[in-house]
Amino acid sequence: MKSLTKINKCQLLILVTALAWISSRSAFGQPIRVVATFPDLADITRQIGKNLVSVESLATGVEDPHGVPMKPSFVPRLNRANLLIVTGLDDEHSWLPALLEVASNPKILAGQPGYIDCSVGVPVLEAPTRIDRAEGDLHPKGNPHYLLDPLYGKIAAQNIATGLTRNFPQYEADFDKNLKAYLAELDSWIGRWEKVAAPLRGVKYVEYHPEWVYFANRFRLQRVGSIEIKPGIEPTPNHLVQLVQQIKQENAQVLIYGSQNPRIPQQLQGETGIKVLRLYTSAGARSETDTYIKWIDYTVHSLVQAVS
């Protein structure tokens, strides 16, 4: 009985020590803990925060942006985060708000200083004039895939720097210096991409889901149609017959899909000979697209290669 009590005391001591260690862990964390919803935002944050931040992304980049699984393992990460960086425009609406409800971290709730919405100031495209689900799975605030336009990547970078400075003004000079360097780097890449993407001007494309409007606007591609009838609504056989005719009539050169099922794109390729490209709408989906710049570069070169 005596030894049992002794064991119990030892166990209690170990338990209390473990809990105390766990509770105090956050106090020792040196860098600013940032959680980004997608890998491209995580990369931009790393470029601006450098060694002052430790950044992790919730999604890996291969997921359908609207179908990221609501994993409970995201909850502790959100709980410990000093800052949360989101694409915004309701891109994360299907999975993030419910996770934030249980993350017990008021600092990173929408509207709080720790919640950094990268879409602020982006000239939004395809904002619906009629908000009705008969129009499909709409984004009431507009198309959220603006990071496909590298100029808007610059806006996201500025928003991230502003957010970092808002929360940690003591590092303002560092963030500012890193932002300027990153923007200069992005500018030089944008210059290169504009030259490389010259053959894309006027190229007609078909997309699976309305994701490519920002990219098309920047590099002057022309959208012919989409596989989905309306955003998020899978095609009917009739719609596919019409799309095949449209591809042939308008001489569409390339069909772009990302996280969607390749079955229908391959079927259309068989029927029309259109080139089919799998290009993801986030960085991180492939090893060679692990940064924002590499992702845009890969996207531009892949498309140029496909049409040339």
Q: Which residues bind other proteins (CB under 8 A)?
A: 22-23, 25-26, 60, 62-64, 67-73, 75-76, 79-80, 97-99, 101-104, 106, 109, 123-131, 133, 137, 140-142, 217, 232-234, 259-261
Least distance from C-beta 6 to other proteins, angstroms?
27
**Which CB sits closer to other proteins, 7 or 16?**
16
Least distance from C-beta 173 to other proteins, angstroms?
32
**Which CB sits closer to other proteins, 142 or 153?**
142
Question: What tokens does 125 get?
Answer: 């495209």
- Give the separation between CA 64 and CA 198, rounded to whole angstroms: 29
Helix (H, G, I), strand (E, B) or coil at 259: coil
**Which CB sits closer to other proteins, 12 or 62?**
62
**Which CB sits closer to other proteins, 176 or 290?**
290
Chain centroid to Cα 186, Å, comes to: 18
- Give the separation between CA 133 and CA 122, rounded to whole angstroms: 25
**Which CB sits closer to other proteins, 148 or 179?**
148
**In 3D, which of 50, 49, 55, 137 has the Cα closest to residue 93?**
137
**Which CB sits closer to other proteins, 31 or 97?**
97
**Which CB sits closer to other proteins, 172 or 234?**
234
Least distance from C-beta 35 to other proteins, angstroms?
14
Least distance from C-beta 270 to other proteins, angstroms?
19
> What is the DSSP track for 129-197?
SS--GGG-S--TT----GGGSHHHHHHHHHHHHHHHHHH-GGGHHHHHHHHHHHHHHHHHHHHHHHHHT
Least distance from C-beta 288 to other proteins, angstroms?
16
Helix (H, G, I), strand (E, B) or coil at 32: strand
Least distance from C-beta 155 to other proteins, angstroms?
14
Question: What tokens does 133 get?
Answer: 């689900």
Least distance from C-beta 71 to other proteins, angstroms?
7
| Runs of H (alpha helix) within the chain | 2-28, 39-49, 74-80, 96-102, 150-167, 172-196, 213-219, 237-250, 263-272, 292-307
Helix (H, G, I), strand (E, B) or coil at 225: strand
Count how many Cα atoms sit within 13 Å of the Cα of residue 271 in the half-sphere of its side chain.
16
